[in-house]
Structure 1
Amino acid sequence: MIWNEEYETLPREALEALQFRRLKSLLETVYARVPFYKAKFDECGVKPDDLKTLSDLGKFPFTYKQDLRDNYPFGMFAVPQEQVVRIHASSGTTGKPTVVGYTRRDIDTWSELMARTLSGAGIGKGDILQNAYGYGLFTGGLGAHYGAEKIGASVIPISGGNSKRQLMIMKDFGSTAISCTPSYALSLFEVAEEEGYDVKSMPIKVGVFGAEPWTNEMRTEIESKWGIDAVDIYGLSEIIGPGVAFECIEAKNGMHISEDHFIVETIDPETGENVPFGEPGELVFTTITKEAIPLIRYRTRDIAIINRQPCKCGRTNVRMSKVMGRSDDMLIIRGVNVFPSQIEAVLVEKKGVLPHYLLEVDRVDNLDTLEVKVEVEGSFFSDEIKELQRLTREIEKDIKDMIGVTCKVRLVEPKSIARSEGKAQRVIDKRKI
């Protein structure tokens, strides 16, 4: 089911002409309105007029997540504050979030993109979407919500958690679709078994899953247990939120990128040079229709492959593979972006804590777990046990406050964490994703 046939099936020549017009206008806008971009362009010796063809985009500088942090909170905005109708934010590495804004037109664009996403999953008017993505500063919940309303589906804004209530609502309201993280779908199935629900007898037919990496093997497991179709979506708050790319239910073979709103490149993360489509590279996006906080050549750090082959669904936009890895040390734990540096920032503030730690990430009963092993001075182990317990609870609370994810802290003796002659290994990820 194609939501916007005019733009989702544009011939390549017409699409690239549209991209060029929008990109030209965007470069002029950010140069005139965003001091960061004017300074960056001038430093690199480029002007908006240097864009003669789409390929000239490579002359312009990259934008990094750190640039948004350095201009916190509103320094990257390209419109006056009174035109910003929505503000979202994602977790930051030092406690300061990455802030993004939306004009009314941006919200309309986002709704359009999520309408395409949900239509691609076969959801339409008459369906009941149980939206179990989190609402709030996180972009997932409201993004899916607005898209579902745009296509005329009924939305249950249940947000995440409270699995027993989720299942009761799903059964009683007759939900036909669910949107959540894939790991939560498997966790919810386990609760359904414990509570005696037969999910295959319910009307639910499709799940729209994202916000964390997942494999095709995990897709097979979800589809088998629930008796539904499971489709993948991709997005990130800096670009617009969910809706940047989505799988079609017909093929389930790569996520269609809405190229009338985003120009995608793949680069070698070490050199910054473009790599050919069809080879793994770091995804770089330019937002060509955003008003509040447009971004030029934003480096996502996500590694994927771009496929330009036609899809049997009829869409002409390029498709991206599932994310194959990261070019930085970011982890995604229960849908939340987590950097080791965030946890390190908590630990260095603690008296008696040594600068040696290890993060162990695992998936237990289909939910991500995080254990933080940290060395403390030997004197702690000669003190009363209650002092170790106090410090453990204090670190767990401070980490939860910093990153929004519950973890288990284990205090260990000095020199018990293996040392490395090169770059210290801070993370062991045991998840099979």
Structure 2
Amino acid sequence: MSALQSARLVKTVNHVYHNVEFYRNKMQKIGLEPGDIKGIEDITKLPYTTKDDLRDNYPFGLFAVPQSEVVRIHASSGTTGKATIVGYTRRDIEIWSECVARVLTMAGIHKNDIIQIAYGYGLFTGGLGAHYGAENLGATVVPMSTGNTKKLVTMMEDFGVNAIACTPSYLLHIAETLEEMNKIDKIQLKAAICGAEPWTENMRKEIEERLHISAHDIYGLSEIMGPGVAADCSYHKGLHIWEDYFMPEIISPETLQPVAEGELGELAITTLTKEALPLLRYRTKDLTSISYEKCECGRTSARISRFKGRSDDMLIIRGVNVFPSQIESALLEIGETTPHYLMIVDRVNNHDTLEVLVEVEERFFSDEIKQLEGLTKKIAHVIQQAIGLAVKVKLVEPRTLERSEGKAKRVIDKRQLI
């Protein structure tokens, strides 16, 4: 594995140096040449890459191949409304499909199975990523997407669907629908691949008990590839990361130095085979630890632990990346609010909710109720346009929200995800 990683890292470094001006400038700035990277042990000499780097080079500034070789573009939400753009060559798509096929295999899914893909299709990587992986495996794919749950349940029964890929919260909603329709005993579901949002071990157990299936955690991020970077096996003791395609490092978010095996830190990933958008030491901001011990399942790939949070202020709500700064920018556009707000994230009946408390000028509370209602709707609309999620907005009087002399507390997350 080390020899394979070394060969692929050397090739990747040469690829980005000669084809991406951003990386060439970054390496020259620290006096680093491609020839200085002789193997995987030299990875710490390379510079880090951040989400800001992708945003600053929007849309295609970090692409390492001409547009004629890019066969697909996906995007994820950015911190300021500007999306993070990712591209794939035909070979990138093939490798992505291989990674997802490995995940499905770990979950006991094979070519004789019928799988519903109930992630969103489109610019979001979840739907097409899982879809191509399942087809690569040879399974029969039902491209269901999200939304019409009763139709999904009907097809699940009629088609003999025995596997599903979706967010864990949506799967619990499906379970509720199945219970309401008295169909739990009429379906053949055996496995679920759940990702795109944080979920707890208790939530996994509830899903398994209610649906009588095995549920597996899948990890990925658009910048690196999409779903399929890592996933857990039937022992659920960490997520196996495909080290032949992605080199993981666990670093201290403060010092940016590697931490010891088993110690909590931020996950940084170097793509070892990506052609269109290769990334060096990409800081995911996800907090985890790593183990190189052989798993009970027999696999020898490194395993990352269930994520303990993030080193930045990004939230994942119903599969969507949300930054407080997006809310702030949206509110500043309106002009009728003060710069004080509070986001309250909760999970009600296994569905994420977002309420935003917003301070408004005193005069609005002496006006007609109709004006308050109008402003509430206006703010809710502007926020929804900014983050892509419907929110509940509550207007509060000036100086209602707590002030801080240090970093303002903008988020209360009640989901108890750890």
TM normalised by structure 2 equals 0.98
Post-superposition Cα deviations, 1:391-416, rounded to whole Å, max 9, x if no partner, equal 11111112111111110011110000
**What is the aligned counterpart of 1:210 among 187, 195, 198?**
195
How many residues align? The count is 417
* SS of equivalent residue, structure 2 residue 262: coil
Amino acid at match of 1:115: A
Q: What is the rounded CA distance, in whole Å, between the counterparts of 1:146 and 1:52 in structure 2?
A: 34
Match of 2:269 in 1: 285
Confirm whether residue 121 of structure 1 aligns to residue 107 of structure 2: yes
What secondary structure does 2:175 align onto?
helix
Is 1:361 the equivalent of 2:345? Answer: yes
Inter-partner Cα distance in structure 2 for 1:395 and 1:335: 22
* CA distance in structure 1 between the aligned counterparts of 2:26 and 2:211, rounded to whole angstroms: 50
Task: Using the TM superposition, give the Cα deviation of residue 193 of structure 1 relative to its aligned residue in structure 2, in angstroms.
Answer: 2.2
CA distance in 2, matches of 1:130, 1:166: 8
1:313 aligned counterpart, secondary structure: coil
1:255 corresponds to? 239
Please give the secondary structure, in 2, of the residue aligned with 1:89.
Answer: strand
In 1, Cα distance between equivalents of 2:135 and 2:379 = 42
SS in 2 for 1:21: helix
In the superposition, the TM-score normalised over structure 1's length comes to 0.95
Structure 1 alignment gaps of length 5 or more = 1-14
The answer to whether the 8 Å contact 1:117/1:245 transfers is yes
2:230 aligned residue (245, 249, 255): 245
How much does 1:201 deviate? 3.5
Return the offset for 1:136.
0.5
Please, which of 87, 90, 94 is the counterpart of residue 104 of structure 1?
90
2:69 maps to: 83
- Counterpart of 1:317 in structure 2 is 301
2:312 is the counterpart of 1:348: no
RMSD, aligned CA: 0.9
Q: For the residues of structure 1 that align with 2:110 and 2:137, how far apart are their CA atoms?
A: 6
Cα deviation, residue 317, structure 1: 0.8
Residue identity in the other structure for 1:331: L
What is residue 372 of structure 1 aligned with on the other side?
Answer: 356
Quote the residue 2:142 is aligned against.
156
Q: Displacement of 1:363 after TM fit?
A: 0.5
What is the alpha-carbon distance in structure 1 between the residues aligned to residue 153 and residue 183 of structure 2? Answer: 10
Runs of 4+ off more than 4 Å: none
Q: Is the 8 A contact 1:200 1:227 kept in 2?
A: no
Instruction: Write the distance in 2 (CA, Å) between the matches of 1:160 and 1:335.
Output: 12
Cα drift, residue 295 of structure 1 = 0.1
Amino acid at match of 2:325: S
Decide whether the 8 Å contact of 1:86 with 1:101 is kept in 2.
yes
Alignment partners' CA distance in 2, 1:352 and 1:206: 50
**Percent same amino acid among aligned pairs?**
59
User: What is the rounded CA distance, in whole Å, between the counterparts of 1:129 and 1:243 in structure 2?
Assistant: 16
Residue 235 (structure 1) aligned with residue 209 (structure 2): no
Q: CA deviation digits over 1:307-344, x for unaligned, max 9?
A: 11101222211011111110000000001110000111
Distance 1:336 1:222 in 2: 21
The Cα offsets for residues 82-138 of structure 1, whole Å up to 9 and x where unpaired, read as 100000000011111000000000010111111111111110111010110110000
- Contact 2:9/2:39, CA 8 A, preserved across alignment: no
Separation (CA, whole Å) in 2 of partners of 1:117 and 1:197: 31
SS of the equivalent of 1:148 reads helix
Answer yes or no: is the 8 Å Cα contact 1:44–1:60 preserved in 2: no
Corresponding position: 1:422 with 2:412: no
Provide, for residues 263-306 of structure 1, a one-character-per-residue CA deviation record: whole Å limited to 9, x for no partner: 00000001100001211110000001000000000000000111
User: Are 1:129 and 1:177, in contact at CA under 8 Å, matched by a contact in 2?
Assistant: yes
* Distance in 2 between residues matched to 1:412 and 1:148, nearest whole Å: 49
Q: Secondary structure at the match of 2:10?
A: helix
- Residue 396 of structure 1: aligned partner: 380
1:409 to 375, 383, 393: 393
Q: Give the letter for the 1:432 counterpart.
A: Q
Separation in 2, partners of 1:53, 1:81: 30
1:92 corresponds to: 78
Partners in 1 of 2:44 and 2:145 — Cα distance? 40
Q: Name the amino acid aligned to 1:236.
A: L
Q: Counterpart amino acid of 1:374? A: V
- CA apart distance, 1:351: 2.2
